[in-house]
Amino acid sequence: MNKKIILILLTEAIAGISFGISMPLGALTLETWGQSSTIIGLSSAMPGLAAVIVTPFLPRLINHYDQISILKFSFIVVPLSLILLSFTNDLFVWFFLRFTLGAGATVIWVITEIWINSYAKDENRGIIIAIYTSVLSFGFISGVLLLSVFQVENYNTAFYAAATIATLAAIPIWPIKDWPVYDVVEDISFMKYLRKAPSLMGSSWVMGFLYAATASLLPIFALQYELNYAESSRTVAWLGSGELFLPILVGFIADRMSKRKLMIAISIIATLALILMPYVFSYNVPRVLLLFILGGAIMSLYSLGLTMLGHQFKGQALTSANASFIFFLCLGEIFGPPIIGTSMDIFGIYSFGWVSAGVCFTYLLIFISSGSMKAVR
């Protein structure tokens, strides 16, 4: 494996630990403030909103200031935002800092994913990207488990830990000077790529919707089943364990069979898991197994979509398509937490699984009816 891919993976693993702490930490902190699921959902949507606003300007910034400088600046913004979050109890300031946190994280994700997709070859792209998502998930799980060590009254310390780890994530790639430089089309039409690859952009949107909703609101959902704060935060770790292992299997299969059929199978599995969630969550072993399967299915929507993207687009077009892919993922992140949080407030906790299942099933129907990816095998 290319040495630089290894360095990128190391950076993503460490950054994943920070994200694993900060995502459920934000929701649990607001819950201790007595905020509703709707407010928690809106807060969780701020990083996605930041990404949607930042992504269209990112190509222009990359061309004017180069990828390395922008990446390093983002590795300053992320830990600074996390530290400042620990000092505020003002909801407006909180939302703003969640926004800046999301903006910095978006730049890190987009640039590192462009590098990985560029270094990967067609014959091993599926497994390389699966390893990338699994490494990120490994970091995420580690962060969630680390968060479960902190007591509610020590959540400020957890913010400091997340900020420190985010800073450490920059170390593997910070000294390197000779990363590939690509000219990026400054005026990216996201609708153009939606028309060219609706199935892929749709898979990214659904993954963003489900990932943001589950990562932020799953602990709140779990609290309704009489789990304590530590146990509730660990449910996200079980979700992440599936994200760690199953995409590798999916990536291996994707290099050997029809990716379209595989995407349909994954969507069906995710839909069924979400439908069953309210019925099995009271039981320890079924809960863990279901979350493992669901997490793997959600992350596989993303890794398989990213693999298909690398097959369909090359060179400068790949860079622009990757930015569009992230854009639609972040659109999903904007809609997921507020919609699921509001549905929980209005219709009760069961809607956490059922509304999410409805979204996933709708994508499945759209994907089946779309013939845009038949050429991708």
In a domain, 376, yes or no: no
pLDDT at 372: 44
Residue 177 lies in a domain: yes
CATH at residue 329: 1.20.1250.20
Answer whether residue 30 is part of any domain. yes
For residues 20, 111, 322 and 340, what is the CA-based torsion angle, rounded to 10 degrees?
A: 20
Domain boundaries, position 224: 3-369
Residue 18 lies in a domain: yes
Position 166 scores a pLDDT of: 93
- For residues 15 and 276, what is the distance between their CA atoms, to the nearest angstrom? 32
The pLDDT confidence band at residue 373, using thresholds 50, 70 and 90, is: very low
pTM: 0.73
In a domain, 171, yes or no: yes
Quote the CA–CA distance of 108 and 117 in Å, as a whole number: 14
Tens of pLDDT, residue by residue over 323-338, are 788 888 888 988 988 9
Expressed in angstroms, the distance from the first to the final Cα of the chain is 24
Residue 256 pLDDT more than 60?
A: yes
pLDDT attached to residue 77: 95
- Torsion (CA) 159, 92, 223, 332 in degrees, nearest 10: -90
Whether residue 377 lies inside any domain: the answer is: no
Where does the pLDDT of residue 249 fall: very low under 50, low under 70, confident under 90, or very high at 90 and above? confident
Q: Angle at Cα 302 formed by Cα 296 and Cα 307, nearest 5°?
A: 115
Q: What is the pLDDT of residue 375?
A: 42
**Which tens digits make up the pLDDT trace of 101-147?**
999 998 888 888 777 777 777 677 777 877 887 788 788 888 888 88
Count structural domains, the chain. 1
Residue 374 covered by a domain: no
pLDDT tens digit string along 189-209? 677 778 888 888 888 899 999
Inside any domain, residue 226: yes
Instruction: Please list, in sequence order, all residues whose beta carbon lies within 8 angstroms of the beta carbon of residue 74, skipping any fewer than 6 positions away.
Output: 103, 104, 105, 107, 108
pLDDT at 150 over 90: no
CA distances from 298 to 137, 206, 244, 347 (A): 12, 8, 11, 24
